[in-house]
Chain A
């Protein structure tokens, strides 16, 4: 994470993961949901890409599509030289060692009938790593990495607190030494004091292990804390991507600005800039607005915004935004 990695001038580093024009649609009786509508992004080894957006914008679906938990309709997800979307389910299995997922609710994602040792050891058993003894040592090692005592292995998930359970989920995700972990709202279900502990743990682990994170969250302060780069998502599309510093200092897209403006804070008077909070609700993903998806809520929108979709354009070095006015 940003405290520990080189500044991102080293753009020549080959990306670990490249997502290109990914589309995920769900058909239902009410129509087609455009959950992910042509998303491209890349993640470099060892970096954290934050993915922010309102609930319902498709950020979790994007994360799950990258891990092949939902099937994309088109586009590619390349890990190294391999397009994961073209693999069969069994062909995908060896690549699952490289991409792991941590879910929002650890209680829902951990089988309540398995001990913590069984849960953390399961990825090792699935991929046939080590013998019984080696796996036991590895489980103890993983438990200590995430700050749990070794005797936790014999207990059940419901005997732990929320933060400890998320540590179990993180330990399980680390078991296979992945190169990328998709963190799907990993701290959203936790108390604020516990959130900080888990975030610090994630930062620590990244500096020790060099694993890359795709950090999905609706919480800007959390994303600011952990991310090297941040992608802002709105109704299935990425509207702006930049380094953390640039995004916070000079957001280019009206939606990003509105998001920052809607962070509650005690105002000490109008400092020359009007605050534009996002008005109204997210439009339905069944029938996304024509043109720029954001024009229905955008303070700067003009007539042609409703007609023409803006493409991602470079507004500064390693800073792209999809707005006609950016």
Chain B
């Protein structure tokens, strides 16, 4: 009786929640993505508590298989470094680089796309030529070149990924802005006397946010993958542990001690998969065709 009463008193709007958050929560892929990503984030946050000390220190016998020594649950590599510690601390680096590089790409991509789409004409043409210039160079090779020239460090890796990953976002934002630019919403704002900046930042960007967030989650995944690839090729920051670097170091002993390269590889797969699933789920959730208004 009590439960029936409570349910009866919930306003209908609360039962049939239909905003983007609840639609996302109904996407199974998004839920799996959030859980996996939460796991990776937890590893990053708890790395110092569970594995204090530098993960690059030689702490035990080399080539210990996972489970061989309870103090090294995932074993050690050929130099006696704790693999579990490396994977936990590596999560920090991967997420840090992924997030900061994506933030940088967002600023450039959204800025270029917004101004090109809003102003059109010559501004659009020149900004789009710039975008095409960046698009003609494969982003990974571009990032590789930048890091190789500037010496690998977290800052240069973030910068290299940030300045190479934005063109597709710029195109997306430009397309959204073009669509809205000549619609009645913008015309109405102009008629009210709103400035361009007010229209762009108060009205157009909030209405473009959904696709931007979707592509940002995939961009973080791509940035993590790019960083891992750079580190695998030896262009990671030598002072910090990185999943890609661990895979790179383990590849020479892949046939005898497969786990040294495979375990950090699994970590990369989990992190990238989590972000892609989340992006997919968000994409389905913000799809306007599903929006019931």
Q: State which of A93, A103, A158 has its C-beta within 8 Å of the C-beta of B187.
A: A103
B207: nearest chain-A partner, CB-CB: A113
User: Which residues of A sit under 8 angstroms from B190, Cβ to Cβ?
Assistant: 69
A37-45, A94-102, A281-289, A304-312 - the one binding chain B: A94-102
Contact present for B193 and A158 (CB under 8 Å): no
A172–chain B nearest beta-carbon distance, Å:
7
A179 to chain B, nearest CB (A): 14
A111-B207, A113-B207, A126-B194 in contact; A158/B293 too (CB < 8 A)?
yes
The one of A64, A97, A109, A114 that contacts B193, using a Cβ cutoff of 8 Å: A97
* A17 to B189 Cα, complex, angstroms: 22
The count of chain B contact residues (Cβ–Cβ below 8 Å) is 17
With known contacts A103-B187, A111-B185, A158-B293, A123–B193 Cβ distance under 8 A:
yes
A123 touches B293 (CB 8 A): no
Asked whether any CB of chain B lies closer than 8 Å to the CB of A110, the reply is yes
Q: Indicate whether B188 reaches chain A with its CB closer than 8 angstroms.
A: yes
A97 to B184, CA, bound (A): 19
A100–B191 Cα distance when bound, in Å, is 6
Contact check, A103 vs B188: say whether CB atoms are below 8 A apart.
Answer: yes
**Closest residue of chain A to B188, judged by CB?**
A109
Q: Are A127 and B193 in contact (CB under 8 A)?
A: yes
The 9 closest A-B pairs by CB, nearest first: A109-B184, A96-B193, A109-B188, A108-B184, A101-B191, A123-B192, A93-B193, A103-B184, A158-B293
Q: Are A122 and B183 in contact (CB under 8 A)?
A: no
Q: Please give 13 more A-B residue pairs, beta carbons under 8 A apart, in addition to A103-B184, A158-B293.
A: A69-B190, A92-B193, A100-B192, A101-B188, A105-B184, A109-B187, A111-B203, A113-B203, A113-B206, A114-B203, A126-B193, A127-B193, A172-B192
> Inside 8 A of B184's CB, which chain A residues have their CB?
103-105, 108-109
A and B contact pairs by CB, cutoff 8 A, 9 listed: A69-B190, A96-B193, A101-B191, A103-B187, A122-B194, A123-B193, A126-B192, A169-B188, A172-B188
Q: Report B27-74 residues with CB < 8 Å from chain A CB.
A: none
**Which residues of A (119-153) have their CB < 8 Å from a CB of B?**
122-123, 126-127
- A180, chain B: closest CB distance, angstroms: 12
Chain A neighbourhood of B195, CB < 8 A: 126
The 8 Å CB contact of A69, one of B187, B198, B207, B293, is: B187
Q: Is the CB of B192 within 8 A of A108?
A: no
Residues of A74-110 whose CB lies within 8 A of B: 92-93, 96-97, 99-101, 103-105, 108-110
Chain B's closest residue to A103 (CB) is B184
Q: Which residues does A use to contact B, with CB under 8 Å?
A: 64, 67, 69, 92-93, 96-97, 99-101, 103-105, 108-114, 122-123, 126-127, 158, 169, 172, 176
Q: A105 — nearest CB in chain B belongs to which residue?
A: B184
Chain A positions within 8 Å of B203 at CB level: 111, 113-114
User: A residues within 8 A CB of B183?
Assistant: 108
Q: How far is the CA of A105 from the CA of B185 in the complex (A)?
A: 10
Contact A96 B192 (CB under 8 A): yes
Q: How far is the CA of A51 from the CA of B283 in the complex (A)?
A: 45
Residue-wise interface mask of B (200-231) relative to A, using a CB-CB cutoff of 8 A (1 in contact, 0 not): 00010011000000000000000000000000
Compute the total of residue contacts between A and B using a CB distance below 8 Å: 57
Chain A positions within 8 Å of B193 at CB level: 92-93, 96-97, 123, 126-127
Q: Give Cα distance in the complex from A126 to B184, angstroms.
A: 18
A102 to B293, CA, bound (A): 23
Interface centre among B185, B189, B193, B195 (most CB of A within 10 A): B193
Q: Quick one: closest A residue to B204, CB to CB?
A: A111
- B interface majority secondary structure: helix
Cβ–Cβ < 8 Å partners of A110 in chain B: 185, 188
* Cβ-defined contact, A126 with B198, below 8 A: yes
B189 cross-chain contacts in A, Cβ below 8 A:
111, 122
Report B200 CB to chain A, min CB distance, Å: 13
The interface centre, meaning the residue of B184, B187, B194, B207 with most chain A CB atoms within 10 A of its CB, is B184
User: Which B residues are CB-close (under 8 A) to A104?
Assistant: 184
| Nearest-Cβ distance from residue B212 to partner chain A, whole angstroms | 14
Residue on A nearest B13 in the bound complex, by CB: A159
Contact B194 A108 (CB under 8 A): no
Most buried by A among B184, B187, B188, B207: B188
Chain A residues with CB under 8 A of B185? 108-111
Q: Which residue of A lies closest to B209 (CB)?
A: A113
| A113-B206, A113-B207, A158-B293 known; A122 vs B187 contact (CB < 8 Å) | no
B18 to chain A minimum Cβ distance, whole angstroms, is 11
Compute how far the CA of A219 lies from the CA of B184 in the bound complex, rounded to whole angstroms.
21
Q: How close is B204's CB to chain A, nearest CB, in angstroms?
A: 9
B208 to chain A, nearest CB (A): 11
Question: Once the chains are docked, how many angstroms separate the CA of A100 from the CA of B194?
Answer: 12
Distance in Å: Cβ of A91 to nearest Cβ of chain B: 11
| Complex CA–CA separation, A202 to B189 (angstroms) | 21
Nearest to A112 among chain B residues (CB) is B207
Q: Find A67's partner among B191, B194, B206, B207 (CB 8 Å cutoff).
A: B191
CB distance from A202 to the nearest CB of B (A): 17
Q: How far is the CA of A93 from the CA of B192 in the complex (A)?
A: 8
Query: For the complex, what is the distance from the CA of A69 to the CA of B203, rounded to whole Å?
Result: 18
| Closest chain B residue, CB of each to CB of A93 | B193
Contacts of A105 in B (CB 8 A): 184
Nearest Cβ distance between residue B12 and chain A, in whole angstroms?
A: 13
Residues 137-163 of B, flagged 1 when their CB comes within 8 A of A and 0 if not, give: 000000000000000000000000000
* Centre residue among A92, A101, A111, A172 by max chain B CB count within 10 A: A111
CA distance A172 to B192 in the complex (A): 9
* Cα distance A169–B207 in the bound complex, in angstroms: 19
Smallest beta-carbon distance A104→chain B, Å: 8
